[in-house]
Structure 1
Amino acid sequence: MCGIVGYLNLNGEKLDSSKELIGNMCHTIAHRGPDEEGSIVIDAAALGMTRLSIIDLSTGQQPIPNSDESAWIVFNGEIYNYKEIRELLVKKGHTFKTSSDTESIVHLYEEFGVDCLDYLEGMFAFAIWDRAKQRLFIARDRMGEKPLHWGVFDGKFVFGSEIKGLLAHPSVTKDLNPEALMRYLALEYIPAPNSIFKGIHKLMPAHYMIVEGGNVTIKNYWSPKAEKSKLSEAEATERLMELLRKSIELRLISDVPLGIFLSGGIDSSAIAAIATEISGKQIKTFSVGFSDKSFDESDHALAVAKHIGSDHKVVTFEPDLAFETMTELWDYLDEPIADASIIPTYFLSKMTKESVTVALAGDGGDELFGGYPTYQAHGMADTWKVIPKSLRHGFIEPALRKLPVSLNNLSFDFKVKRFISAVDEPTMRRHLRWMGSFPLKEHSQLLNPQIFDTFPYTENEEELFDSPGSSRIIMPAFAGRDNADTAMRLDLSTYLPDQLLAKSDRASMAASLEVRMPFLAYPLVDFALSLPTSMKVNSSNTKLLLRRAVAPLLPEAILKRPKKGFGIPVGKWLKNEFRPIVDELLDTDFLRSQGIFQPEYVRALLKQHNDGTADRRKELWTLLQFQWWWRKFFMAAKPSELAFRTKQ
């Protein structure tokens, strides 16, 4: 695992041989690869990397060339089938100087060109400078596990794993992207190809770029097979276990110690149980607990750990610890991410890094196999709308809105109020509003008119993905077979890569920990998308096929427990332990001078939350993360200093 950076003169002019600039860009992402740093300035290009050594610890330094040095690569990620690729290339006459997966890629490119991507199974973002063609070839993995940002500034093409790497280049400007702000407020994340900075873009998952002759070309290289499974439930169960075992087996390959994030949910528990079977030895597992029992899953994780005999470590995440962790993590983030679970994810990553260098995680299982209660809610919506509107709107829904506010995890009133808030909308819009913070129809109240008027206004959340380069690989036009299937495919295309995987990458790499996701192996993705919804979710349960497949491996209590999610008690903390930092970042005078949000609207949200008349945890947390980002990048405020002031 590494971080990569680079730049290219688009006019083809040869660069000065000094490595100072590319070295400075590398320094900004040193946390991604603390073991080594390497760079090369060659022709019109400069490539740099920071390395976290996982495979071939002694000779895997980058950048790495092919045999005649006509192509050079910097690479972030892991290629799990690199040994098979190497065997193929050796038969074709290639010779290797290292045992690293990185060298296999540059030789694969030499042999097959851009079609080399068809052979790769893994998570990756890489850049290859082709000296013969004088072109830069950049690619990102199929599901978006590893990030890649890029931009064109002042005749320079600049790229990097993280935005901070680009900002270290003097040509790159630092301006707010208003359209990205609109997307962030509605969705709680910024979908690719947008970023919060104007002119800086994200390369979409399963896409590659060619920069040649001053032009930038972006193309899609993979999409799932559009097939419907004809397997019986028993056959599908067997096939699922075959694919999952194969994926886990590949992801257990490592030259350094390895462990597993264990939440006590179906996904991580299945991975831990199967990994134990495959390895034939005790594995290390790690989890985080909360004193607030509505959020705590540590007892379930412990039950699984005892069942499989793992060496288990758990730490309770108290509010003071959360506050310190949050302000420490803020130093690493370049964009606002409104998923509050990034805080315990970072804490868990730091704790895990004390024992191992690689961890397996269960990301992707919910989206592929129907794990979120939201998918069930789409089925309930059709039933709900059978009730006459006059009865629903006149009596039932007003009564439900008056339910007492609870700040517990997935409380009844939270779910009910979310449900009725968008139940009458079309499937995609309904799903996005259920998952997000500020519906687009509220932006005119939230935003300063001067900011709001810069947006191409719409009230349709599905239009948030209608931007150049925003083709989605999981579905043509998000066309699912039913409402739940549409929602799952939408989450796989946007929420998973742009929110969950971005969160996991930033949190784990800030701790210099590599995290691997067995559920995101593309053969497993193909298989899952071929299944009918009836094998995944119904009105009474979720993850039907997955539960059946792993039933022989896990305790019955784990198989029967409902989805809880990796949340934190942010609603309560905003009213108590985090109150000082909320008051400072959302201060009325500051909001007024900042000129982005309408202070009266924000203060009303705060009052409702603090008075207990409404649960505004999602809205306030979304604003809080943006305000931190704004102060860090446009006011040169250090998060740690801000935290110190507010705790006095």
Structure 2
Amino acid sequence: MSQRLGNSLCSGIGGTAAAGESLGISWAHRPPGRPTRARSSWRPALLPGDRLCIFNGFLDNAEELNRTLGVASTDPALLYAAAVERWGDEADLHLVGDYCAALADVANRTLRLARSPIVSQPLTYAVHDTGVAVASVPRAIFAAGVPRTLNEARVVDAAMVNYSDHEASWFEGLRRVPMGSLVELAPGRPRRLVRYYDPDAIRTIAISDAEAIERTQGLMAEGVRACLRGFSSPGANLSAGLDSSQVAVHALNALPPGQDLPTFTFTPEAGWDGRTEPAKLGNERPMVEAFAALHPRIRPHFTTNEGIDHDHRWSDFFHVMSGAPCGLRNMYVFHGIFADAAAAGCDVVLAAEWGNNAFSDKGQWAYPEYLRTGRWGQLLRALREIPGEPRPLAWRFIAQAVMPYFSDRLADRIRRMVIGSEHDTFAQWQPFTADFRQRSGADARLEAAGFRIGRYQPRSAAHARRLLLRNDDGEGAEVRQAFEQLYGVRERDPLAYRPLVEFCWSLPTRMFVRDGQTRWLAKQTAKGIMPEEQRANRLNGRWDSDWHLRVGRRRTEWLAELKRLDAHPRFKGMFDVPRLTAALENYPEQTETDFYKLSVLEFTIPHALLAARFINYVEGRNEV
């Protein structure tokens, strides 16, 4: 059994795994990163009382825990077990990191599974005839003998961007451990699920501007140092924005004086016509080059992902992650970044994806807050300064300040009356027929979840956090782990460092929106480290700006694939093929800049193909 588990971990990505059996439990471990020989010394942590602990990921406050718990080791598995022994269900609240963990008490026949909040390593489990199988990749669970049976509901929900069932897996009988939660299993007892992390417990603090800026910068630097720990050759993603550039500067400060920092930026492929939506920046290279010129130890790399399209290596993703989350529809931009990082010899790449949810949040809840508290001057300034907003001030007032208080149904009705169904994000993004959505239960599940694609209208900072976490992480952890497996380079996000995130969540609204200026705090912390043009830039970087070029060259091939799907008994009536094929047949001559018109081409058609190909992969079908 242990050998099968080890082989499954290396399948498709190479390397070898340590494998064995302890206390009657079969286990296997493949070192993360590049394919390499297994560390023969690796074993699960064996504890007194016939207990075993496996810890996967990063523990950023190990030294602090070492002092608090009095454990004569910085082994994260030993520290984790000691924390559970000391604090029970609240143990993970005392840990800072990006991890998953399994703690087996063989004597008492209990199994405790947990994942960290904010960011986490994936963890899936299945209870079957001969016991329990647990793994960070489902293919190991199948190697343990659990049947691989497709859960079509998850495929459909994912294509509708509905991840509100945080335990659902792509296969029947498998469950995910939600982020910020623990699961306890024991024979003869109901499964116990504890959501130990509650973002609503965070309260707003009173703080001066100067203290907020200083503490944010200090926590950002602390988060970068934590993410670099254990790595010797880091790189960093770098855009023209406020977030990744600050991570890069903190990384330079943390590295030895003579060490350079390779950075990686994706840019449009040659042939892009330069068009994009209002208030968007389609090519970030010039600003990145200007920023790098201020910091000579930055070695910038640029990738156009030339010849790579939206469906690049999907079959490899299906294998290594055993899933097809909708984010894969246009994640191709990261292939060049990870490949370049591997070629540059990096063992970790620093990301900055969580900045927009923490220190550089736009504070969109400010509009209804200003209305509720009667701060009319601030509301007027904020409404006037919305970038790229062509609609009159009265509509902005209704849309931004009033509608957040409306129910989803009322908000939907108003939008349809005022701007029409052609501006309905859900109608544009989902790829299925109305009949299929109804008979498959997808519409009912979406309604029960209280989730509306495209509606982000928080009424308060606390409500914004609930909207952020309503879909767990949309399987972002699984996607990140898949890239790490395929390219052998780890990724860490210092802006997801929990002390930093929770501090930012405790700040008052004026730190994010002030006198019409959004992202106020991020712009203050950026002073002096980037060109003023970049710091003052109000354009948002446009992900996938050259989509028209990439989709266009696959247009004929994708049309044929959609028509095959519509003719096959397995898929007939499932996808709204007439709508999707009409969009491809009437392909625009230049990049469409109306978001609602371009959505079908850039998002919905890849959605449909991704879902269909994953179903074919699982069911072993090759003819469509």
When the two structures are superposed, what TM-score results if normalisation uses the length of structure 1? 0.75
1:148 is matched with which residue: 100, 106, 123? Answer: 123
1:620 is matched with which residue: 596, 601, 605? Answer: 605
The corresponding residue for 1:557 is 533
Shift of the alpha carbon at 1:297?
1.4
2:139 is matched with which residue: 144, 153, 164? Answer: 164
Task: Tell me: CA distance 1:590–1:154, structure 2 relative to 1, closer, same or farther (3 Å).
Answer: farther
The corresponding residue for 2:6 is 23
The corresponding residue for 2:196 is 221
Task: Tell me: CA distance 1:542–1:581, structure 2 relative to 1, closer, same or farther (3 Å).
Answer: farther
Matches within 5 A, 1:43-62: 43=23, 45-52=25-32, 61-62=41-42
Structure 2 residue identity aligned to 1:235: E
The corresponding residue for 2:584 is 606
Shift of the alpha carbon at 1:135?
1.7
Task: Tell me: CA distance 1:506–1:59, structure 2 relative to 1, closer, same or farther (3 Å).
Answer: closer
SS state at 2:53 partner = strand
Task: Tell me: CA distance 1:166–1:609, structure 2 relative to 1, closer, same or farther (3 Å).
Answer: farther
Shift of the alpha carbon at 1:37?
1.6
Which structure would you say has the larger RCO, counting Cα contacts within 8 Å and 6 or more residues apart? 2
2:134 matched to 1:198? no
Aligned length: 570
Shift of the alpha carbon at 1:357?
0.7
Structure 1 residue identity aligned to 2:461: D
Task: Tell me: CA distance 1:157–1:349, structure 2 relative to 1, closer, same or farther (3 Å).
Answer: same
Matches within 5 A, 1:421-500: 429=408, 446-447=432-433, 449=435, 452-455=438-441, 457-458=443-444, 463=449, 483=459, 485=461, 488-494=464-470, 497-498=473-474, 500=476
- Verify the 8 A CA contact 2:363 2:512 in the aligned structure 1: no
Matches within 5 A, 1:302-313: 302-313=289-300
Task: Tell me: CA distance 1:134–1:504, structure 2 relative to 1, closer, same or farther (3 Å).
Answer: same
- Verify the 8 A CA contact 2:368 2:404 in the aligned structure 1: no
Task: Tell me: CA distance 1:50–1:79, structure 2 relative to 1, closer, same or farther (3 Å).
Answer: same
Structure 2 residue identity aligned to 1:306: A
Task: Tell me: CA distance 1:316–1:519, structure 2 relative to 1, closer, same or farther (3 Å).
Answer: closer
In structure 2, distance between residues paired with 1:539 and 1:604? 46
- Verify the 8 A CA contact 1:438 1:619 in the aligned structure 2: no
In structure 2, distance between residues paired with 1:120 and 1:213? 28
Task: Tell me: CA distance 1:111–1:272, structure 2 relative to 1, closer, same or farther (3 Å).
Answer: same
Shift of the alpha carbon at 1:266?
0.9
1:361 is matched with which residue: 328, 333, 351? Answer: 351
Task: Tell me: CA distance 1:235–1:381, structure 2 relative to 1, closer, same or farther (3 Å).
Answer: closer
In structure 1, distance between residues paired with 2:296 and 2:614? 43
1:352 is matched with which residue: 341, 344, 367? Answer: 341
2:312 matched to 1:334? no
Between stretches 355-364 and 247-256, larger displacement belongs to 247-256
Shift of the alpha carbon at 1:79?
0.8
Shift of the alpha carbon at 1:183?
2.9
Between stretches 269-278 and 454-463, larger displacement belongs to 454-463
The corresponding residue for 1:286 is 264
SS state at 2:358 partner = helix
The corresponding residue for 1:508 is 484
SS state at 1:507 partner = helix
The corresponding residue for 2:284 is 297
Unpaired runs of 5+ residues, structure 1, are: 1-17, 383-409, 467-477, 643-648
In structure 1, distance between residues paired with 2:492 and 2:429? 37
2:182 is matched with which residue: 205, 208, 217? Answer: 208
Shift of the alpha carbon at 1:230?
0.8
Root mean square deviation of aligned Cα: 4.3
In structure 2, distance between residues paired with 1:431 and 1:288? 40
Shift of the alpha carbon at 1:531?
1.9
The corresponding residue for 1:240 is 216
1:65-107 Cα shifts (integer Å, max 9, x gaps): 2354832222221112223323444x4xx555xx643443345
Shift of the alpha carbon at 1:453?
1.4
- Verify the 8 A CA contact 1:273 1:554 in the aligned structure 2: no
- Verify the 8 A CA contact 2:266 2:305 in the aligned structure 1: no
- Verify the 8 A CA contact 2:513 2:519 in the aligned structure 1: yes
In structure 1, distance between residues paired with 2:184 and 2:603? 39
The corresponding residue for 1:73 is 53
2:307 matched to 1:320? yes
Structure 1 residue identity aligned to 2:609: L
The corresponding residue for 2:108 is 133
The corresponding residue for 1:7 is none
Task: Tell me: CA distance 1:459–1:129, structure 2 relative to 1, closer, same or farther (3 Å).
Answer: closer
When the two structures are superposed, what TM-score results if normalisation uses the length of structure 2? 0.78
Between stretches 621-630 and 44-53, larger displacement belongs to 44-53
1:287-327 Cα shifts (integer Å, max 9, x gaps): 22223455321222222222222342323314413468445
In structure 1, distance between residues paired with 2:268 and 2:411? 28
Shift of the alpha carbon at 1:140?
0.3
The corresponding residue for 1:629 is 614
Task: Tell me: CA distance 1:226–1:487, structure 2 relative to 1, closer, same or farther (3 Å).
Answer: closer
The corresponding residue for 1:231 is 207
SS state at 2:207 partner = coil
- Verify the 8 A CA contact 2:179 2:472 in the aligned structure 1: no
In structure 2, distance between residues paired with 1:319 and 1:431? 45
In structure 2, distance between residues paired with 1:432 and 1:524? 34
Unpaired runs of 5+ residues, structure 2, are: 275-280, 373-386, 416-422
Task: Tell me: CA distance 1:118–1:333, structure 2 relative to 1, closer, same or farther (3 Å).
Answer: closer
Task: Tell me: CA distance 1:485–1:588, structure 2 relative to 1, closer, same or farther (3 Å).
Answer: farther
SS state at 1:40 partner = strand
1:275 is matched with which residue: 222, 232, 251? Answer: 251
1:456-481 Cα shifts (integer Å, max 9, x gaps): 64496572569xxxxxxxxxxx999x
SS state at 1:586 partner = helix
SS state at 1:497 partner = coil
The sequence identity of aligned pairs, in percent, is 16
